[in-house]
Structure 1
Amino acid sequence: ASCFWPPHGEEEPPGSRTRGESRMASRISPDKRFLIFFDFDETIVDETSDDMVVQTAPNQHLPAWLKDTYQPGHYNEYMQRVLAYLAEQGVTESDIRTVMEKLPATPGMLALLQFLRNRPPHDFEVVLLSDANTFFIESWLRRAGTRSLFHRIFSNPATFNREGRLVLKPFHSHECPRCPANMCKQAVVREYITRRIQERGRPYQRVFYVGDGANDFCPALAMGPRDMVFPRRDFPMHRLITETHEATPGEFKAVTVPWSSAEEVVQRLRKLVAE
């Protein structure tokens, strides 16, 4: 695969762990059987959070001059400018949090998260991996009462400065030509799994990945034949997997289970944990 691991230590930029999360991470049961990764936008929530924050702008709309500054592959820098503009228009932390808390979950997703919460503690280590940002994600998870389920959140750091502006930073740098400049999810997945196997002293029985977008295809390429990916049906990740199977049979190794409702993910996981 054409992805490279980030330099040592860069998988965890300043502020990527919230208070108490380091303590929580150290309490992760070392004998968990399964590791499951989730994307956030259009996977956990049924919207793109970056698009929805525009609802806080005057007339719920960005000026053309700002939209015209977007360059492909550099969305993170574009969102930095959007958030700076919103702050200039008087948008507050409370305004942004309110919009994020109202994002609807995807069909069946709350049932899937509840299923994972109700499993015995040695079953699932749950990780969130998103190109959104930590503030948007934390706002939604806390409102939904599901924050404690996630052992780690890997996303672009975002914190409010003294002037009340939400300051967004890139997650890391990498050399993968397939991914946006600020995040290669495969690099994060490989680094995390390698480190956790060293800490545990044993591999996971299976790794799962639940996603929807083109940037979720890259980490899915790193999965092995015992692993399982759950692409949202007819979204870019699903289409890219299908195209890869047709173009280069055997390159994509993981078992693929498309879903329209996350209840379908619950059904498959329920069978696997019973094995």
Structure 2
Amino acid sequence: MGDSIFNCCYVPPHPPGEEDPHRSRRSDIMASNSTRISSDRRFLIFFDFDETIVDETSDDMVVQGAPGQHLPGWLKDTYQPGRYNEYMQRVLAYLAEQGVTESDIRSIMEKLPSTPGMLTLFQFIRTRPQDFEVVMVSDANTFFIESWLRRTGARQLFHRIFTNPATFNKDGRLVLRPFHSHDCPRCPDNMCKQVVVKDYVARRTQERGRPYQRVFYVGDGANDFCPALSLGPRDVAFPRRDFPMHRLITETHEAMPGEFKAVTVPWASGEDVVQRLRKLVAE
């Protein structure tokens, strides 16, 4: 992965309130370029990856590389709630021990099917570069996501990608690291997407000198509910219909009216999202 897009451009965020240890001349140049490129864009849209952009969970699909395409019971039994990232580190170590190579994993990821209508949604956004700044926030990892995006030609659509760093070591094992640490009780130890979203929106608003007209969030899972809570009444949450994010929003509306502020537009196909975005762009 020496020349991968993610190794070149991915810079993990620093904890809020601390000086960024990754700040460098390269990142200064990138920040300057990103500001110049997108400071005039009207809308900011966040995407999840697993079961949002692709119609599978990449962590589950990588198990196809294991002997018999399944994990041994002793390994499954090591999972602890809230520590999924640590569990996946053990899974990836096991796959390497079984002879699963970088090429094998890339091939599995490249074959992940896109969610219905998602490529249509990407094409709609791609044809309106003056309107959308596109960001991914995913609890997958850099290698899985890069493999799929490069295969589909969708990498350039994304202004930034926030996910767990993953690189192959000298022994050919994919080493997964946590994205950050946080104090949110709703989210797994390695990533709170609300922290990422709020930090990014605040920083970009300062760089632009003005807020976005609207912020959108497209997701499916329980960990997509947390960032959607940070959206305002002019923003739009796009939960995949009947998935955990949608159910949590519905339950919140019923139990605590007014707590969830964003407009909610459930979707079954990316084309449902296109229909709403088309109306908003025309305003």
Both proteins in one fold, TM over 0.5: yes
Q: CA deviation at 1:169?
A: 0.2
Asked whether 1:125 is paired with 2:133, we answer yes
Counterpart mapping for 1:179-190 below 5 A: 179-190=187-198
Tell me how far apart the structure 2 counterparts of residues 9 and 122 of structure 1 sit (CA, whole Å).
33
Gaps of 5+ in 2: 1-13
Tell me how far apart the structure 2 counterparts of residues 255 and 207 of structure 1 sit (CA, whole Å).
11
Maintained 8 Å contact 2:42/2:213: yes
Corresponding residue number in structure 1 for 2:173: 165
Corresponding residue number in structure 1 for 2:281: 273
Corresponding residue number in structure 1 for 2:10: none
Tell me how far apart the structure 2 counterparts of residues 115 and 10 of structure 1 sit (CA, whole Å).
38
Corresponding residue number in structure 1 for 2:57: 48
For 2:266, give the aligned amino acid. Answer: P
With the length of structure 1 as denominator, give the TM-score of the two structures: 0.93
Q: State which of 232, 240, 249 in structure 2 corresponds to 1:241.
A: 249
Counterpart mapping for 1:86-125 below 5 A: 86-119=95-128, 121-125=129-133
Tell me how far apart the structure 2 counterparts of residues 215 and 12 of structure 1 sit (CA, whole Å).
27
Q: Percent identity?
A: 80
Q: CA deviation at 1:163?
A: 1.1
Change (3 A) 1:98 1:106: same
Q: State which of 35, 42, 47 in structure 2 corresponds to 1:33.
A: 42
For 1:29, give the aligned amino acid. Answer: S
Q: State the SS of the aligned residue for 2:82.
A: coil
Corresponding residue number in structure 1 for 2:221: 213
Change (3 A) 1:99 1:13: farther
Tell me how far apart the structure 2 counterparts of residues 153 and 85 of structure 1 sit (CA, whole Å).
27
Cα deviation, 1:168-189, whole Å, max 9, x if unaligned, reads 0000000000000000000000
- Flag the structure with more relative contact order, 1 or 2, with Cα contacts below 8 A and sequence separation at least 6: 1
Tell me how far apart the structure 1 counterparts of residues 257 and 32 of structure 2 sit (CA, whole Å).
43
Q: CA deviation at 1:230?
A: 0.4
Cα deviation, 1:209-265, whole Å, max 9, x if unaligned, reads 000000000000000000001000000000000000000000100000000111010
For 1:228, give the aligned amino acid. Answer: V
Q: CA deviation at 1:109?
A: 0.3
Q: State the SS of the aligned residue for 2:37.
A: coil
Maintained 8 Å contact 1:11/1:191: no
Q: State the SS of the aligned residue for 1:260.
A: coil
Maintained 8 Å contact 1:54/1:60: yes
Asked whether 1:136 is paired with 2:144, we answer yes
Tell me how far apart the structure 2 counterparts of residues 233 and 12 of structure 1 sit (CA, whole Å).
40
Maintained 8 Å contact 1:135/1:158: yes
Q: List, as ranges, runs of 4+ consecutive aligned residues in structure 1 with deviation greater than 6 Å.
A: 10-14, 20-23
How many residues align? The count is 267
Q: State which of 52, 76, 85 in structure 2 corresponds to 1:76.
A: 85
Tell me how far apart the structure 1 counterparts of residues 126 and 136 of structure 2 sit (CA, whole Å).
15
Counterpart mapping for 1:145-160 below 5 A: 145-160=153-168
Q: CA deviation at 1:9?
A: 5.8
Corresponding residue number in structure 1 for 2:238: 230
Corresponding residue number in structure 1 for 2:72: 63
Tell me how far apart the structure 2 counterparts of residues 12 and 150 of structure 1 sit (CA, whole Å).
24
With the length of structure 2 as denominator, give the TM-score of the two structures: 0.90
Maintained 8 Å contact 1:80/1:168: yes
Maintained 8 Å contact 1:13/1:171: no
